[in-house]
């Protein structure tokens, strides 16, 4: 028997232009496109070619002027700043955004210019993003937990005309001053922005650079509201940098037209949301989840979205999420499983849930990492709502696999994000590019063309785009995840096939960390692996081989490299553990056996690699890992 999901899925693959052409009717276009899918320059595909539009208009103005002006668009709740609470209606948010677009325009920002946004979880971050969209400028949001060096790398790649930032972020009760980070980054970068607009927060006074910096509030007081600038559907809306296999991040590009069409479609079909509903993605604007599901998708759909400047625990306790749901009558929550593991650890019996009326709450969505069965079952039992794991990546912008709640709800299988979402022709291949048998693990790839809203390329790096994603399996996008599709069509994501690790739902490159460790003057060689962690999913652990003749204490070198990673990449890397070893296990051709080291660390069975140069090294690695609480020394 076919259901609505199956009908939609089949049509999306057999007639993608018809399928997405229909979805595009939900968007207000300045000019309709000439061609829904342009395949003339394969493997570069373009959606809605000839179409003209404005993303900010679709997210705000059409609701503000179309009967939702007094409806709540954005809710801000900040337990870290004396419980600040603020809401914006669609009209208010549109007016703020139009004025901030005026501020940016006065600073010389126009269509196609890049603007870096380095901000905490305050509504002004969304206002800055939407103001860029209004002007046709291209924003690039950088997560606040990255250090100055990471910000500098992004400044040099995006070459922004302006940077929008704030005086500080707040981590539970710690004020993180942004100005030293911003100034440090601009000093490190070769490219210099013309202007910085700084939001002064009461927690931290602004010390502005008089020739470069503009105070947000002062500039807003006299700014003229700005109209929506028409852009091509294929023009870039934003660049979002994500970890690659080296320290050089990849600038994922998102277009305007395809992005709007896809995200608007997902709100009903995946998340089963209706305009007017309150939808909360508890993430950060610095991540793709924040772009797609804190800012753009809920607003495109006419929902109220939530900016929560707090944590699942500690602000003030593990009841924070239930307080939010009850206070704002939230219908759906989207977060990472690690947040639920943190709550479960503090309140294992879920007693705090009983303090709140969460009868409005209908469904929990999890992504960012695999939802482990324990967390899934705990959430299902304590909340008594469907708990839906779904799988996606920064590159894809929206879910590749999910239980599409607005189409058809399938039974949940623990450990699986259910089935491919319409638009995604997912296949499992072996390393030679041949299809794997059902139920056999392999490389997860997606047959081209990818649906709208996905990355058309990497910023100024077409060649890297081809090399990273398209060249290895011609005709397919390589996800760099390995997995299985079972006989019922359920997908399971098993592991990354590159050196990306997932720490508390954050994507990090072990290669990037190794670059930092190698720069230590006493380190001859190093390796970083991701080991299993009960709270964060994975944690990085470093192995250091010191140069001959180094007399410094091992602990001193370890402390120094830990500090270096925090300074170069940022606290978000959570790099706190390293150990000194005499040598690293390698293949005869010199490749470090990181996978085997990881298995030893996690106390899992492993096969002796046939190509190993000297098997006795593995015993030494095991011993070193036990010394830092891993392998059979795990508690
Ligand atoms: N600015 C500055 N520092 C930041 C930061 C930010 N925006 N975000 C995190 N950090 C810091 C933290 O304070 C911490 O610093 P520390 O080493 O001094 O303690 C470090 O970066 C690691 O942060 P995190 O991995 O978030 O760990 P945590 O122990 O602070 O919190 C959780 C653990 C599980 C509560 C937290 O990761 C969480 O809420 N996750 C929710 C999931 C999520 O948002 N995922 C994003 C993708 S959907
Ligand atoms: P990011 O680009 O930060 O969103 O990270 C994407 C990566 O996170 C994916 O390639 C997966 O490895 C992992 N990931 C995200 N969601 C899931 C999920 N639901 N199940 C398993 N892995 C996931």
Is 428 inside any structural domain? yes
CB distance 60 to 73 below 8 Å: yes
Average pLDDT over every residue of 280-298: 98
Q: How far is the CA of 366 from the centre of ligand 1 (A)?
A: 17
In a domain, 295, yes or no: no
- Following DSSP, what letter does each residue of 415-468 receive, concatenated? T---EEPTT--EEEE-TTSPBPPTT--EEEEEESSPPTTS-S-BTT-HHHHIII
Q: What is the mean pLDDT of residues 602-612?
A: 89
CA distance 10 to 4: 10
Q: Which of 429, 453, 483 is the last residue of a domain?
A: 483
Judge if 456 and 597 occupy the same domain: no
pTM, entire model: 0.96
Q: Rounded distance, CA 170 to CA 172, Å?
A: 6
75 touches ligand 1 (CB under 6 Å): no
Query: What does the pLDDT look like over 203-242, one tens digit per residue?
Result: 999 899 999 999 999 999 999 999 999 999 999 999 999 9
- Whether residues 529 and 474 fall in one domain: no
| Residue 185: Cβ-neighbour burial (10 angstroms; 0-12, 13-18, 19+) | buried
**468 and 546 belong to one structural domain:** no
pLDDT digits (tens, 9 = 90+) for 513-522: 999 999 999 9
Ligand with minimal distance to 537 CA: 1
Query: Where in 234-273 does DSSP place strands (E)?
Result: 236-242, 250-255
pLDDT recorded at residue 228: 98
What CATH number does residue 621 fall under? 3.30.300.30
C-alpha dihedral, 18 to 21 to 26 to 28, nearest 10°: -160
In a domain, 76, yes or no: no
CB of residue 56 inside a 6 A radius of ligand 1: no
Q: Looking at residue 581, what is its pLDDT?
A: 97
What is the H or E stretch that residue 9 is in? helix 4-14
Whether residues 454 and 550 fall in one domain: no
The enclosing domain of 19 has a CATH number of 3.40.50.12780
Nearest CA to ligand 2 atom 13: 369
| Same domain as 244, residue 110 | yes
Q: Residue range 403-420: average pLDDT?
A: 98
> What total number of domains does the chain contain?
2
The rounded distance, in Å, linking the Cα atoms of 589 and 611 is: 8
pLDDT digits (tens, 9 = 90+) for 423-466: 999 999 998 999 999 999 999 999 999 999 999 999 999 999 99
φ/ψ of 158, rounded to 5, equals -85, -20
- 547 shares a domain with 459: no
Backbone angles phi, psi at 397, to 5 degrees: 75, -20
Grade residue 1 by pLDDT with cuts at 50, 70 and 90.
low
User: DSSP secondary-structure letter at 270?
Assistant: T
454, 515: one domain: no
User: Is 132 in the same domain as 37?
Assistant: yes
What is the Cα–Cα distance from 109 to 132, expressed in whole angstroms?
A: 9
Residue tagged 């189409």 (tokens): 407
CA distance 271 to 20: 18
On whether residue 123 sits in a domain, the answer given is yes
Among all chains, which residue has been given the structure tokens 């370890």?
558
| 407 falls within a domain | no
- Testing ligand 1's pocket by substitution, the residue of 78, 166, 171, 367 carrying the most ligand atoms inside 8 A of its CB is 171
| Among 48-62, 300-314, 492-506, the least confident range | 492-506
Range 239-249 average pLDDT? 85
Q: Which ligand is closest in space to the CA of residue 393?
A: 2
C-alpha to C-alpha distances, 629 to 157, 231, 555, 603, nearest whole angstrom: 40, 55, 15, 11
In this predicted structure, the answer to whether residue 93 has a pLDDT above a threshold of 90 is yes
Mean pLDDT score, 171-181? 96
Residue 503's contacts (CB-CB under 8 Å, 6 or more residues apart) are: 530, 533, 536, 537, 538, 539, 540, 572, 573, 574
The pLDDT confidence band at residue 9, using thresholds 50, 70 and 90, is very high
Residue of 436, 424, 441 lying closest to 476 (CA atoms) = 424
Query: What does the pLDDT read at residue 613?
Result: 86
Quick one: pLDDT at residue 206? 84
Structural domain that includes position 212: 4-71+91-254+419-483
Give residue 367 CA to ligand 2 midpoint distance, Å: 7
Give all strands (DSSP E) within 2-135, no chain letters.
Answer: 35-41, 44-49, 52-53, 72-78, 84-89, 114-118
| Confidence category of residue 247, pLDDT binned at 50, 70, 90 | confident
| Same domain membership, residue 203 and residue 59 | yes
219 in the same domain as 113: yes
Which of the ligands is closest to the CA of residue 398?
2
Confirm whether 411 is domain-assigned. Answer: no
How many of the other CB atoms lie within 10 Å of CB of 362? Answer: 16
- On average, the pLDDT of the chain sits at 96
Do 157 and 13 share a structural domain? yes
Alpha carbon of 530 to ligand 1 centroid (Å)? 17
Instruction: Specify if 31 maps to a domain.
Output: yes
Going by C-beta distance under 8 Å and a sequence separation of 6 or more, which residues neighbour residue 67? none
Contact between residue 240 and residue 394 where contact means Cβ atoms under 8 Å apart: yes
As a whole number of angstroms, the distance between CA 69 and CA 225 comes to 17
Q: Could you tell me if the CB of 310 is within 6 A of ligand 1?
A: no
The predicted-structure confidence for 524-555, as pLDDT tens digits, reads as follows 999 999 999 999 999 999 999 999 999 999 99
Do residues 52 and 186 both lie within one domain?
Answer: yes
Residue with tokens 């007017």: 276
Tell me, yes or no, whether 400 lies in a domain.
Answer: no
Q: Which two tokens stand for residue 604?
A: 């899992």
Tokens representing 294 are 């804190």
């Amino acid at each position: 028997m076919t259901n609505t999901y199956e009908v939609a899925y089949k049509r999306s693959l057999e007639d993608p232009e018809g399928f997405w052409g229909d979805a595009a009717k939900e968007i207000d276009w300045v000019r309709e496109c000439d061609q829904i899918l342009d395949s003339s320059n394969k493997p570069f595909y373009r959606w809605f070619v000839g179409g003209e539009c404005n993303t900010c208009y679709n997210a705000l103005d059409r609701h503000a002027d179309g009967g939702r002006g007094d409806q709540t668009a954005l809710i801000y709740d900040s337990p870290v700043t004396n419980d600040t609470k603020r809401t914006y209606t669609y009209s208010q948010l549109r007016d703020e955004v139009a004025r901030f677009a005026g501020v940016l325009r006065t600073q010389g920002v126009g269509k196609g210019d890049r603007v870096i946004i380095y901000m905490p979880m305050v509504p002004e971050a969304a206002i800055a993003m939407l103001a860029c969209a209004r002007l046709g400028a291209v924003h690039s949001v950088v997560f606040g937990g990255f250090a100055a060096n990471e910000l500098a790398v992004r400044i040099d790649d995006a070459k922004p005309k302006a940077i929008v930032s704030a005086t500080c972020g707040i981590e539970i009760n710690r004020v993180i001053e942004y100005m030293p980070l911003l100034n440090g980054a601009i000093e490190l970068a070769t490219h210099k922005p013309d202007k910085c607009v700084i939001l002064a927060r009461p927690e931290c006074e602004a010390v502005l650079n008089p020739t470069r910096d503009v105070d947000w509030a002062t500039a807003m007081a006299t700014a003229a509201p700005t109209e929506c600038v028409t852009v091509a559907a294929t023009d870039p809306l934003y660049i979002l940098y994500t970890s690659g296999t080296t320290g050089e991040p990849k600038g994922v590009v998102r277009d305007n037209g395809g992005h709007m069409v896809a995200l608007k479609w997902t709100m009903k079909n995946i998340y089963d949301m209706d305009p007017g509903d309150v939808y909360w993605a508890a993430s950060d604007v610095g991540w793709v989840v924040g772009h797609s599901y804190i800012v753009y998708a809920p607003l495109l759909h006419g929902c109220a979205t939530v900016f929560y400047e707090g944590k699942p625990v500690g602000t003030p306790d593990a009841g924070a999420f239930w307080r939010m749901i009850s206070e704002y009558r939230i219908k759906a929550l989207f977060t990472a499983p690690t947040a639920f593991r943190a709550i479960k650890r503090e309140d294992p019996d879920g007693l705090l849930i009983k303090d709140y009326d969460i009868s409005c709450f209908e469904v929990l969505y999890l992504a960012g990492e695999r939802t482990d069965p324990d967390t899934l079952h705990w959430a299902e039992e304590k909340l008594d709502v469907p708990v839906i794991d779904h799988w996606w990546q920064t590159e894809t912008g929206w879910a590749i696999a999910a239980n599409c709640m607005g189409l058809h709800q399938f039974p949940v299988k623990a450990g699986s994000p259910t089935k491919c979402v319409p638009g995604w022709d997912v296949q499992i291949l072996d390393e030679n590019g041949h299809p794997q048998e059902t139920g056999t693990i392999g490389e997860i790839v997606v047959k081209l063309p990818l649906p709208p809203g996905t990355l058309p390329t990497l910023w100024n790096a077409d060649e890297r785009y081809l090399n990273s994603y398209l060249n290895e399996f011609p005709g397919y996008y390589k996800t760099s995840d390995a997995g299985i599709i079972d006989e019922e069509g359920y997908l399971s994501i098993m592991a990354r096939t590159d050196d990306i690790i997932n720490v508390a739902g954050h994507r990090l490159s072990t290669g990037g960390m190794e670059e930092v460790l190698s720069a230590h003057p006493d380190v001859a060689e190093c390796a970083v692996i991701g080991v299993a962690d009960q709270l964060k999913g994975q944690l990085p652990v470093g192995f250091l081989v010191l140069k001959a003749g180094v007399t410094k204490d091992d602990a001193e070198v370890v402390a120094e490299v830990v500090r270096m990673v925090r300074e170069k990449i940022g606290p978000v890397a959570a790099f706190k553990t390293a150990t000194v070893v005499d040598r690293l296990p390698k293949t005869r051709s010199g490749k470090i056996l990181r996978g085997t080291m990881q298995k030893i660390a996690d106390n899992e069975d492993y096969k002796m690699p046939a190509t190993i140069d000297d098997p006795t090294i593995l015993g030494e690695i095991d011993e070193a890992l036990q010394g830092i609480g891993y392998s059979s020394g795990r508690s």
